[in-house]
Amino acid sequence: MKKIAVLTSGGDAPGMNAAVRAVARGALAKGWQVMGVRNGYAGLLADHFDPLQARNVGGIIQSGGTVLGSARCPEFAEPAGRKKALQNLGAHGVDALVVIGGNGSQSGSASLAREGFTVVGVPSTIDNDLYGNDVSIGCDTAINITLEAIDRLRTTASSHQRAFAVETMGRNCGYIAIMAGIAGGAEVIALPEHEITPAQVAERLRAAYQRGKTHALAVIAEGAKCGVHELMEYYGAHRKSIGFDLRVTRLGHVVRGGIPSAADRVLATRLGAAAVDTLAVGKRGVLAGIIKGDVVVTPLEEITGRTRPADASLLELARVMAI
């Protein structure tokens, strides 16, 4: 192994930069050359490669987003696009590629591995829905950002005897919603993995009002079948019976941003270094993840096309704690 490349792909996640730093410095420590690919797979096709030295990745561990950039690249899904990417990697003398990203990104990794190129994936997604991994880069920060918003809304909700429906990110996986909801003491949590109706949400809010609570919170993942739009429609027709005045706050992409937490910085550093170590021992076509506290590698073919759901059994814990 003489030269590797690293790219970030998919949605940005706090801690991606720490992972880029770890890959670069881990490889440089082994005497390898390192190239950074700009704008994900699109950069592979557009031949946007830059050499990375230790100073190029200095001062980025605390930064959110990704200094390498990310972009959609439908062309990469086609054989001609992957052929062009492989040609560019070969032209730069790159022996292996580290891909930092989530499900779609690692599907791209798997496709390159099937073409015979040496690839190692690093899990980075705020949804924390990758197989072969217990905790992904970015999810801890996203949970804490969501929790801070919930805590702030609780203050104003209590002051005005209101209920708030807080929509957080999670189109296909409710990990952020369930974790932030439990930590924030939400009365009800709605996930894509568990069906709940607007009437059931309203009943939980009504019950909280009848128990004498001064406020109530519903945390709703954006992909939940009971979304904030459906909930507000139901509320409009049953306003008086619920008791609380209901307001909606949609957090949106603010959940992705911000300074990465200490946990995400350490995780990203461990996983970035682990990817380099994995290449050093000759392993390829795998995801380097953390399972039960240890670094474990899982074949990319085993995780491609699969989504690890949030643990809906925790909803019962949330319900008990909300009494």
Catalytic positions are: 127
**CB contact set of 85 (below 8 Å; sequence gap of 6+):** 41, 44, 45, 76, 112
Q: Which two tokens stand for residue 97?
A: 């590629």
Alpha-carbon span 230 to 233, nearest angstrom = 5
Which residue from 228, 215, 217, 240 is spatially nearest to 170, judged by alpha carbons? Answer: 228
Query: Do residues 104 and 9 touch, judged by C-beta distance below 8 A?
Result: yes
Q: Which two tokens stand for residue 3?
A: 């030269």
Alpha-carbon span 176 to 153, nearest angstrom = 17
Alpha-carbon span 323 to 316, nearest angstrom = 12
Q: Is 219 helix (H, G, I), strand (E, B) or coil?
A: strand
